[in-house]
Structure 1
Amino acid sequence: MRALLLAAGTGSRLRPFTNTTPKCLVAVHGRPLLDYWLDLVFAGRIQRALVNTHWLADQVRAHVAASPWRSHVDLVHEDRLLGTGGTILANRDWFGRESFLVAHADNLTDFNVARLISAHRDRPADCVMTMLAFRTDDPASCGILELDPQNRVTAFYEKVKNPPGNLANGAVYVFEPDVIEDIARLGKSAVDLSTEIIPNYLGRILSVETDVYLRVIGNPEILLRALTEFMRAPSYAARRG
């Protein structure tokens, strides 16, 4: 399986950290966010990863070139941001006709990639994607999910006031290639997954909840919280030994 690590955003909400550093290279405990993701996906038996670039792209290219994973990583530059769905569409040939993983490389987590892939392979026959989910302490800042008894996503509330619950979209997905065809049918190059694609699949998305640490690094205050929280997270402590 291959993985797309979305890393092209400008990180405007994380300024001033991102004035001179791409968001995916912002460090937590001395390691850039992108490095955590590369370790996660390749530990999960991902064969190759694609990293898209835009803001301060030279820094990302140089960082990947020095990475121990460099021989397994491809880079693609976007002169104009294409959105999460648009990047998938633009690189459809790279994915081939197999299932693929997509993740936001500017979030912080320590979940088990192999378990998510395994859940996708065992998904209900009518589901075409699997979504990582987590419990958030800030529901209004996330996409909140409602599920049926088989853990299919039946409703999706993207960053609304007073959402009905705290089970949130973790912004990590395993997709079947049919999803790319549906993105293409929109007939445009820039597409957002959360608002233009995912709502079309309600009832056909398997949700897999993780209880390990996951934090959307949205602003400087959250980054500072993450510096403390992640070090104390049981999954992080176990990995550190």
Structure 2
Amino acid sequence: MGVAVKMAMLLAAGLGKRLRPITDSVPKPLVPVAGRTMLDRSLDIVEEAGIRRAVVNIHYLGDQVVAHCERRGHPDVMISDESDKILETGGGVVKALPMLGPEPFALLNADTFWYEWGRPNLPAMIERFDPKRMDILLMLCPLADTTGHPGGTDFFMDSDGRLRRATDKSHPDGLLYAGATIYNPTIFHGASAEPHSLNVYYDRAIADGRLFGHLMSDAHWFTVGTPDALPLAERKLAELGATSRD
């Protein structure tokens, strides 16, 4: 159990429509939260996990994302350009596969992040990922450990860590997808770089008993989907004692 994850991908191509008017001139991943962009917060997590290379996909105001990544020293960032056509989450990953390589890789949302004060969660996920049993390992959290999420939960997890969809999204045992995943790239064999959702692969893995969850620990998860969510996130970070570099 445990693999050497050397690559990460950050999904940064979204339009950020719900965050307008903030995103009229700035792509959502570059919106600062308590003095640090959401993209940098996710890249910090990747860097601190010891992953030295990352792929960032771009579409809306992509030149700003490229320029921002060029100013950052680590990790080494490669760009997957979707300027001509946004490919959604699944198509974006498939397009980037030649850069990600044949080994398991990490995937993070560039417009959500988490603040942690205990053992880092991404290295714990990497250590736990077992390609013999798992196609996908998702980081999950209870709703109580989130700020800015307006909806319900996504999955139920059994005692072995296997996941199934949460049909009752208000059930107290439900867990929310927390924006980080480890993938075995073999599951994308034969897929095309056309617009589609990663949910396709979740459902296949559920059917095969190969979708697993990692419960986030000693951490709080943030999503900033609307302008009203921004001050909520900054207030919670201050409450947690986070600095601008955190």
List alignment gaps of at least 5 residues for structure 1. none
Structure 2 CA distance, aligned partners of 1:35 and 1:139? 20
CA gap 1:77/1:233 in 2 versus in 1, 3 angstroms: same
Decide which of 204, 209, 220 is 1:213's aligned counterpart: 220
Is 1:90 aligned with 2:95?
yes
Higher helix share: 1
Is 1:108 aligned with 2:113?
yes
Decide which of 182, 204, 210 is 1:204's aligned counterpart: 210
Question: Is 1:156–1:199's contact at 8 Å kept on the other side of the alignment?
Answer: no
Question: Is 2:9–2:56's contact at 8 Å kept on the other side of the alignment?
Answer: yes
Is 1:144 aligned with 2:154?
yes
Match of 1:227 in 2: 234
Could you say which structure has the greater relative contact order, defined with CA pairs below 8 angstroms and 6 or more residues apart?
A: 2
1:148 partner amino acid: D
- Paired residue secondary structure (2:15): coil
CA gap 1:9/1:97 in 2 versus in 1, 3 angstroms: same
- TM-score where L is the length of structure 1: 0.86
1:233 positional shift: 2.6
CA gap 1:140/1:26 in 2 versus in 1, 3 angstroms: closer
Identity among equivalent positions (%) equals: 28
Is 1:169 aligned with 2:177?
yes
Aligned length: 229
- TM-score where L is the length of structure 2: 0.84
Structure 1 CA distance, aligned partners of 2:46 and 2:193? 29
CA gap 1:163/1:197 in 2 versus in 1, 3 angstroms: farther
Superposition map of 1:9-88 within 5 A: 9-69=14-74, 72-78=76-82, 79-88=84-93
List alignment gaps of at least 5 residues for structure 2. 1-5
Of 21-30 and 129-138, the range deviating more from structure 2: 129-138
2:210 partner amino acid: R
Match of 2:3 in 1: none
